[in-house]
Structure formats: structure tokens, C-alpha cells
Amino acid sequence: MDVDNGLSEREVEILKLVATGASNKEIAMRLVISPNTVKVHLRNIFSKIEVSSRTEATLYAIHSGLIPSARAAAVDIAGTSLNEAASLETEALPRLIWWRIPAIVAALAVLAILAYFIFRPVANPTGITDTTITSRWHSLKELPESGSGMAAVSYESRIFLIGGQRGGVVSGEISVYESSGDTWGKSAAKPTPVTAAGAVLIGEKIYMPGGQKQDGEPVAVLEIYDPRTDRWESAAPMPKALSRFALAALEGDLYVFGGWDGNNYSKAVYQYDAAQDTWLERESMTIARADCAAAALGTKIILAGGVSAEGLLRDTWAYFPQREIDGEPAWEKRAELPASRAEFNLTTLAGSLYLAGGKTDSEQAAAPVLRYDDTTDKWETLESSPLPIGSFPGLAANGNFIHIFGGESGGQPLAAHQTYQAIYTVLIPAISR
């Protein structure tokens, strides 16, 4: 590589370090010379290549091929202050503009690559060709058996689907989805088969209270599954037999909201202390409801929708357990759902809530997938799923994806397994000459 303007080997070495963003002190330590010597070299370098700032020197190094990647250029261009730009000599501006051209072109190339990775169509891993898959939706391996009302819990790279209605029968089966291989397996069945229940992960164990038996009656049992030993154990039962409730875990405790007791809707809130194996009743909801959903978000639990004696609900509430402990009101009103809705599920990923499935008060349109942004307190409608979701789907977040399992549509159980890619991880390759 030829370097113009008569730079010595030492000056070329220093220019390369300047282009990496190194300070004079860092350059001096790297080359085992004094900072004053670095200043002298920089003065000579600036004179020989006819620049007046470290930014211009960096751009010269890029233009001359001393820097193999455009990343340093992007950093330095972004970091150029208005004062520095204003202080450039008038005669240096044409050189600055000329040397910025390669960096600008490189930056545009990076943006083009980024846009490609974000907006390119995503291949269908199952090879299904009769369904349109959007840039964020994937169809994956179907459930071993059609089902609805299953509790879904994510643990490391696996998702556990527990119980539910399978083949028209209330089941205790556990179907285990391995996300790394898109495969299904089985684990030890739940001792008490139930549907219309929920499950949460606390520590490394899955807690599953309540639910509805084959005869339609709710139960109060609390059963705990250990994925590492593939074993179940029983714990203190709920204060009241319930099904169709909302369930969430926060800071090591389990919370049950509302539900159906076999005769009436409930507005009670129960807290289970996993460490003490005890239940407490907390500040109740304003409306008795069932078929709602809840999920933890930060220091609170978001509760949405459901059905009451008056019909479908669209309200959203934030419940703060610590406020109740401190003697303050625990409930705070949040933005309503776009439409009244029940029989859906909620899950949390990267500080947002995702809602899928259920039925609305509109008979014509399928219930859309929603995202709740806590910072703006808004519900956003996401692009439509390629496959129907229906009521009571299994829902779990794993990696960058929201997994949606089964559900019930038109009175028929579904076997579909689809994911929504909520987060993109983009790797931008280095650009070299």
C-alpha cells in the first residue's frame, strides 16, 4: 500500500491509531513514547496530509486505505461536533467533503444491509406453501395433537404445554417443544388433569394451580413440576377452587386474578408465597371476571379484558403488590383494549406485552394480535397471523419469538404452531476495500 505526502513509518503507525479513536496518552502508552512526542508527530502528520483535525485525519486514513473497515469512519462522523466543523479552515472544506464521500457511501451500504435483514421475507421452516408467511411470522412443527386451554411455560430452550383439552378430553399430558430443533417430546403427566388453568415459572419449577376437571368442576389443587427431575409434587391448595382465572408470577410469588368457581365469577386476588407455601388474599378487582389474562411487567402485573356477568370487558389495569404492602391503592387504570375481549393469553418479552387469541364483540373479524407498550400506555395492533388462533391458545415467549400453540376456532381444536418474531438481532458485516 502506497501512502502519499511522505509520511514516515512511525507517522503512519500513529495515524492508524488516531483513526481508531485512541487519545494521545493511549498512543504514547502503545508505542512507548511520551505524549509530547505524539503531539510533535501529529503536528507533522497534519502538515503533510494537509488536515486540521483528528476527524479529517481519520477520513484521510480511510480514503488512503490505512483503515480496512468503515466502522471507525461511522463513529468519527457521528461524533463530529458543530464547533469542530465550524472551526475548519475554509480551504480545508473541499478536502473534507471529498474524503467523506467513501465514508458516506460505506454508511449507505451498511444501511442497505440493515434494511435487507430487517425487511426481507422469512422462509417457512415447515415448507408449507398454501399459507402466506409475512416477514415476522413463521409456521413451525404442529402440535402432536390438536388442543386448547393448555398452559404454556418457557424454560430455557424448551416450552412446556401442560394439560388442556386434547382430543375432546381434559388431559394431564405435557408436550415439550424444543425450539433449537423444532421438535416435540413428552414429559411426566400432571397428576390432576385440568383445562382452563395457567402455569408460571418460579425459579426453576413450574407452578400450576386450579383448573377445570372433565366434569366441568373447578379444583383448588396446586401442583409443581420440576423440569430437571421430570417430577411433580403437591403444595398448599388454593383458598377456593377456581378455573378460567388470570395468572402471573412476580418477584417469586404467584398471583391469581378472578376466575370461575363453578357458579359465579370471582373478583378475588390471591397471592401464593412459594418460599412459605402459603396463600394470602389481596385487594380485589373492581369487577368479578373470568377468561381474562395477566402478565408481569417490571414491578407490576398487567391485567386485561375478560368476561363478567354483563358481558365481554375491554378494561386494562396495573396491579402493584408493593403499593398494597405500603398501604397505598394497588390498582391503577391503564389504556383500554381496542375492543372488548376474552379467552386470550398474554406474555411478556423485552419490556412489552403481547396478546393473542380470544374472541371479541365483533363477529366478523378475527381477534388481532396486540402489543402493549408500557412507556406510552398504548395497545398496538400487529400484522395479522397467517393461521387462525382462536380461543384459549397456549402462549409463551422464547428467545426473540412469541410462540402461539393451538386454540379453538369454530368449536374445533387447532394443531397450529406459529411464531411472531418480536425482536430482530442483526449482524452487520464489516465493509472493507
pLDDT of residue 89: 38
Q: Do residues 377 and 337 make contact, with C-beta atoms less than 8 angstroms apart?
A: no
Q: For 91-135, how does the pLDDT look when each residue is reduced to its tens digit (9 = 90+)?
A: 444 444 444 555 555 656 656 655 555 554 444 443 333 334 446
pLDDT score at 92? 42
Confidence at residue 105, expressed as pLDDT on a 0 to 100 scale: 58
Bridge partner list, 420: 137, 402
Rounded Cα distance, 408 and 44, in Å: 76
* pTM for this model (two decimals): 0.69
Taken in order 43, 45, 49, 53, is the CA torsion positive or negative?
negative
pLDDT at 301: 97
Residue 81's pLDDT band (cuts 50, 70, 90): very low
Identify the pLDDT of residue 337.
96
State residue 76's pLDDT score.
37
What residues does 257 pair with on adjacent strands? 246, 269
Q: Does residue 417 or residue 57 have the better pLDDT?
A: 417
pLDDT at 433 over 60: no
Mean pLDDT of 390-400: 94
Between 188 and 433, where is the model more confident?
188
- Closest to 266 measured CA to CA, from 306, 297, 298, 315: 306
Type and span of the H or E element at 117:
helix 93-119
The DSSP letter of residue 222 is E
Give the percent of the chain with pLDDT over 90.
Answer: 60
Q: Is the pLDDT score of 83 beyond 50? A: no
Task: Report whether pLDDT(199) > 90.
Answer: yes
Q: What is the pLDDT of residues 251-291, one digit of tens each?
A: 999 999 999 999 999 999 999 999 999 999 999 999 999 99
What DSSP string describes 78-92?
HH--HHHHHHS-GGG
CATH numbers and ranges of domains, the chain? 9-118 (1.10.10.10), 137-421 (2.120.10.80)
How far is Cα 192 from Cα 173, in angstroms, rounded to an integer? 10
Where is pLDDT greater, at 42 or 124?
A: 42
- Buried b / exposed e along 244-282 (16+ C-beta atoms within 10 A): bbbbbbbeebbbbbbbbbeeebbebbbbbebeeeebeeb
Quick one: average pLDDT of 196-215?
A: 96
Contact status, residue 164 vs residue 195, Cβ threshold 8 Å: yes
**DSSP H helices in 149-265:** none
Q: Kindly report which listed range (51-65, 101-115, 222-236, 404-418) carries the lowest average pLDDT score.
A: 101-115
Q: Is 344 helix (H, G, I), strand (E, B) or coil?
A: coil
**3-class DSSP state of 169:** strand
Listed residue (250, 346, 377, 343) closest to 301, CA to CA = 250
How far is the C-alpha of 58 from the C-alpha of 102, rounded, in Å?
12
Residue 362 exposed, middle or buried by CB count within 10 Å (0-12, 13-18, 19+): exposed
Which helix (H) or strand (E) element contains residue 93?
helix 93-119
Q: How far apart are CA 355 and CA 100, in angstroms?
A: 47
Q: What is the mean pLDDT of residues 395-419?
A: 93
Q: Which three cell numbers mark 375?
A: 412507556
Helical (H) or strand (E) element with 325: helix 321-325
Among 221, 224, 157, smallest CA distance to 188 is for 224
Evaluate whether 226 touches 278 at the Cβ level (below 8 Å): no
Given pLDDT bands bounded at 50, 70 and 90, which one contains residue 404? very high
For residue 86, what pLDDT is reported? 38
As a whole number, the mean pLDDT across the chain is: 84
Q: What is the pLDDT of residues 206-232, one digit of tens each?
A: 999 999 999 999 999 999 999 999 999
Residue of higher predicted confidence among 398 and 36 = 398
Instruction: Please state which of the ranges 170-174, 191-195, 321-325, 362-366 shows the lowest mean pLDDT.
Output: 362-366
Three cell numbers written together for 280: 394470602
Binned at pLDDT 50, 70 and 90, residue 377 comes out as: very high
3-state helix, strand, coil in the chain (%, to 5): 20, 35, 45
Alpha carbon distance 147, 392 (integer Å)? 9
